[in-house]
Structure 1
Amino acid sequence: MEEKLFYLPMIPNIPYIFRRWNDLITQWAQHQLGVMIICLSLFAGFSILYFPNVIQKRMDNSWTSNDKYMIDFVNRKIEHPLVAMVDKDSREHYAKRELRITPYLIGKVFHLNAIRLFYLQVLLLPFFLFLFFNLIRKLTGGDAPMAFWTTACILFTYVGHSFVYDTLFYDSYAFVFLLIACYYYDRIWSVVALILAFFVDERSLFPALNLPLLFLFQSGISQGKWSEVIRDFLWKNKATQYLLLSYILYAFIRFYLYIYFHLETPMGKQAGVQLGFAFLHGYKLPYALFSALKWAIILPVIALGYFVKQGIWTTTWFYFSTYLASFIAATAVDDVTRSLTFCFPIIFVLFQIIHRLKEHENARVLISLLFLANILTPTYTLLMHLERISPFNWIY
């Protein structure tokens, strides 16, 4: 009797493909030109999926009355960055934007209007990815595949979406300056970048607290008495000193602008700034909070677990308090997705932990899975109402 042979379809050798891909990334990333090509390729693929919002609006002329008001406001601020434009009695909510002068100064220096400022924001995304890639590689001791998967992972959170979606808020400028500060966390250049980020949006103040932790891991974690840890944190940590200097300079400049130009950040319900304000959204809030970092939120949880396991309690409380402060600030306003996105620097500490523990291979697998999960998971933004940001939405 003739035997019947059953042939199973060819199953791809995923571990082999994964290793070969990582080897290819390592080979390309030996030179900065290769890193640029990798990041530009990520940007091109992302742009095909998510067409810049402002270009779509210009093509179909779908500007709302609120959009037109914001465009007019930004253009007037570019012309006169230090002049208060808003009647605080009638539209106090917009007065928050009066003091966020960094984008207006950039527009004035480079002769850009509100729309062109957005175009520049879109073009900053490849630079953001390039710097992000190099920072992760720096923190992990030169692990290019880890840098690739992490960069791709963060691109498909609201961090990446903000560059092509946030038409007139310009938060992505703050993300770029925060990233520059993280890259130069042990140098004086971080002060300039931090101040520029603070004057894009004051919500940058809280995630900046992660910079001292980056220096702390570089120089070694003190595990003595809490008083000794704090002393070393203040006097031996250059990142702490630069951060405190940036806070002092920011406070001084803000005070000067308030006294001489009457620029301020209003508080209260009328201004849309009140503790717990975002909880009024009810069931929509978890979608918005999750979209800020999406599955990458697992990374700081792992870092926090490491601190607890090692009994590094002072660092544990500082790290947790940094995220808690960012969370409280984010939920005090209506646009909670954008607000919590500012805390993306919180993930960087984990990569120094991975490098210390020599867990590179396992981490690559984890982060590549998080990247796939982020692609397959929708992103939402919450500004008065919940809106889903879908791929190819610009086609129809």
Structure 2
Amino acid sequence: MLPNIGILFNNFNTLIIKYWQNRYWCISISILVFLVFSLIYFPEVIRKRVHDDWTGNDVLVQQFVNNKIANPFKPTENLLPHDHFSKRDLRITPYILANAFGLNSLRLFYLQILLLPLFIWLSVKVIYKATNNYVLGFWGTIALLFSYVGNSFNFDTLFYDSYAYFGLLLSLYFYKNPLGILFLVASYFVDERSVAPSLIIPLFAGLTIYPIHSTNKDFATIFQKMIVQNRTFWLVFISLVIYATIRIIFYLLYHLQTPVGEHSGVTLGLGFIHGAKIPYAIFSSLKLNLLLIIFACFYLFKKKHYIVAVWFTGVFLVSFLVGTAVEDVTRSLAYSFLLVYIVYLLVAQIKEKASKFIYLIAFVNILTPTYSLLLNLYKVEAFSWLIHFPQHF
């Protein structure tokens, strides 16, 4: 006799509610989810070390990162502007972190892996703050975990985007706290693509104080509540000013800069040169979480919440344009994951029954493959370490 799947699923959700309310059990669950996820998608650098499976490019990237760790403020010379290495001079947060703690490129990656259980814990907590529902928090986090956002912690070898993802989520969690400025500036200096999605943080803060059903008042009132009186708006504004100021100082003192212009490898729509590979890259970034963002855009305009709609949709469109203006579309577009948390906040405020849809998204994301697009489309294989393990011996 087959077990009743519905009853088992409900019992599982009951356990989630029970144990996430306990301070220590919620940490244990985060670690358990991390371990199970890592068994499915074994950390890439560890797998390569076990199988001695380094390519020539892997060695070049390690050498580049190790040189940057040793001299974070030394500009990279003799590279063409479109070369990916030339864009990494101002992405110095990982290099400074590694320099301070005596880490090399690989150990910096291992530290990145260890951030994943903290990311899981933070994600569930943020969704819970938005919805007052630990079950949605858990499954919403699983839905993100099985997109490129989660895969990046184990797969993103030596680009360190996960530090930026983690920093952005920390900033959202501490959106009322000036400490968030530190996390934001650090994220910006992991990758400048963090800037666009960070603009959603003041909207999250504003909507917690001034719920969506109240936004049908006049423009002046909304502007006053969402911007002028919104402490988080000014914290993010200060973060951007600090970031711009430091970039200018770094340029004047060390000649660190990001290539711009026609031959910089950054052009609107550049990613579409990959043709049929682009849908895989776009889908893999957030998978079905993209539907949540798109539905939210349509809903806000349909219900005439125009200020929120323009803010939310504008940040997404800018993130999309930035993500497709480079060749590594998957990694770039994944930065917009922060918008998903706004969707959960809206779901809670408009009282829509979205639970089953969230569960569906989580399960579809688990069952569908993840791809990374950088020059070529690369499939992030589940259990690849297990398939090749016997061959090593």
TM score, norm. by length of structure 2: 0.94
- Matches of 1:132 and 1:380 in 2, distance apart? 22
- Matches of 1:76 and 1:314 in 2, distance apart? 46
CA contact (8 A) 1:93 1:270 kept: no
2:297 is aligned with 1:307? no
Is the partner of 2:354 in helix, strand or coil?
Answer: helix
List per-residue Cα deviations over 1:156-215 (Å, max 9, x = no partner).
Answer: 000011001111100000001000001011221111110000000000000001111111
List per-residue Cα deviations over 1:369-389 (Å, max 9, x = no partner).
Answer: 111101111111111111111
Q: Which amino acid aligns with 1:278?
A: G
* Candidates 242, 257, 264, aligned match of 1:264: 257
2:131 is aligned with 1:164? no
- Matches of 1:153 and 1:105 in 2, distance apart? 32
2:348 is aligned with 1:355? yes
- Matches of 2:112 and 2:207 in 1, distance apart? 32
* Candidates 79, 100, 116, aligned match of 2:91: 100
Give the C-alpha shift of residue 269 in structure 1.
Answer: 5.0
Q: Which amino acid aligns with 1:311?
A: K
* Candidates 132, 142, 145, aligned match of 1:152: 142
Is the partner of 1:386 in helix, strand or coil?
Answer: strand
**Aligned match of 2:282:** 289
Tell me: CA distance 1:78–1:183, structure 2 relative to 1, closer, same or farther (3 Å): same
What is the aligned-residue identity percentage?
Answer: 40
List per-residue Cα deviations over 1:324-374 (Å, max 9, x = no partner).
Answer: 000110111110100000000000112222222344xx3332211111101
Q: Tell me, which stretches of 5 or more residues in structure 1 are unaligned?
A: 1-9
2:152 is aligned with 1:179? no
2:134 is aligned with 1:132? no
- Matches of 2:2 and 2:113 in 1, distance apart? 40
2:386 is aligned with 1:384? no
* Candidates 198, 215, 219, aligned match of 2:205: 215
CA contact (8 A) 2:270 2:327 kept: yes
Q: Which amino acid aligns with 1:267?
A: V
**Aligned match of 1:242:** 235
* Pairing of 1:6-25 with structure 2 (within 5 A): 10-25=1-16
Tell me: CA distance 1:22–1:93, structure 2 relative to 1, closer, same or farther (3 Å): closer
- Matches of 2:348 and 2:148 in 1, distance apart? 27
Q: Which amino acid aligns with 2:231?
A: K
- Matches of 2:309 and 2:355 in 1, distance apart? 24
**Aligned match of 2:365:** 374
Q: Which amino acid aligns with 1:117?
A: L
- Matches of 1:190 and 1:242 in 2, distance apart? 8
**Aligned match of 2:113:** 122
Give the C-alpha shift of residue 227 in structure 1.
Answer: 4.5
Is the partner of 1:289 in helix, strand or coil?
Answer: helix
Farther-moved stretch of structure 1 (213-222 vs 130-139): 213-222
* Candidates 172, 188, 207, aligned match of 1:198: 188
- Matches of 2:165 and 2:203 in 1, distance apart? 18
Tell me: CA distance 1:335–1:316, structure 2 relative to 1, closer, same or farther (3 Å): same
* Candidates 108, 111, 115, aligned match of 2:102: 111
Give the C-alpha shift of residue 263 in structure 1.
Answer: 0.4
List per-residue Cα deviations over 1:29-62 (Å, max 9, x = no partner).
Answer: 1112111111111111111111111011112222
Is the partner of 1:387 in helix, strand or coil?
Answer: strand
**Aligned match of 2:391:** none
* Pairing of 1:271-286 with structure 2 (within 5 A): 271-286=264-279
Q: Which amino acid aligns with 2:350?
A: L
CA contact (8 A) 2:147 2:365 kept: yes
Is the partner of 2:378 in helix, strand or coil?
Answer: strand
Is the partner of 1:99 in helix, strand or coil?
Answer: coil
Give the C-alpha shift of residue 216 in structure 1.
Answer: 1.6
Give the C-alpha shift of residue 89 in structure 1.
Answer: 4.6
Is the partner of 2:379 in helix, strand or coil?
Answer: strand
Q: Which amino acid aligns with 2:43?
A: P
Farther-moved stretch of structure 1 (319-328 vs 271-280): 271-280
CA contact (8 A) 2:81 2:259 kept: no
Q: Which amino acid aligns with 1:56?
A: R
- Matches of 2:32 and 2:367 in 1, distance apart? 19
Is the partner of 1:267 in helix, strand or coil?
Answer: coil
Give the C-alpha shift of residue 301 in structure 1.
Answer: 2.4
CA contact (8 A) 2:82 2:265 kept: no
* Candidates 21, 46, 66, aligned match of 2:37: 46
Farther-moved stretch of structure 1 (240-249 vs 219-228): 219-228
List per-residue Cα deviations over 1:92-131 (Å, max 9, x = no partner).
Answer: 5312111100000110111100010001111111111111
